[in-house]
Amino acid sequence: MSAQTRENTSARRERLLGDEPGAFAVARFVRVTPQKARRVADLIRGASVDEAVATLQFAPQAVSENFLKLVLSAVANAENTEDLDAADLIVSQVMVDEGPTMKRWRPRAKGAANRILKRTSHLTVVVTPANTKGA
* Terminal C-alpha separation, the chain: 20
Q: Is residue 1 assigned to a domain? A: no
Q: Is residue 50 assigned to a domain? A: yes
Q: Is residue 87 assigned to a domain? A: yes
Residue type (1 letter), 129: P
Q: Confirm if 73 and 24 have CB atoms less than 8 A apart.
A: no
CATH number at residue 34: 3.90.470.10
Total number of domains constituting the chain? 1
Q: Confirm if 118 and 82 have CB atoms less than 8 A apart.
A: no
Domain carrying residue 72: 11-129
HSE-CB at 42 with a 13 A cutoff on CA atoms is 6
Which pLDDT value is given to residue 51?
A: 96
- Mean pLDDT of all residues in the chain? 91
Q: Is residue 3 assigned to a domain? A: no
Q: Confirm if 65 and 53 have CB atoms less than 8 A apart.
A: no
pLDDT at 135 over 70: no
Q: Confirm if 90 and 47 have CB atoms less than 8 A apart.
A: yes
Model confidence at 5, pLDDT cuts 50, 70, 90, reads low
In whole angstroms, give the CA distance from residue 119 to residue 5. 40
Q: Looking at per-residue confidence, does 7 or 86 come out higher?
A: 86
Model confidence at 131, pLDDT cuts 50, 70, 90, reads confident
pTM: 0.86
Which pLDDT value is given to residue 10?
A: 86
Q: Is residue 88 assigned to a domain? A: yes
Q: What's the CA dihedral at 27, 88, 86, 134 to 10 degrees?
A: 20
Environment class of 5 (CB within 10 Å of its CB; exposed 0-12, middle 13-18, buried 19+): exposed
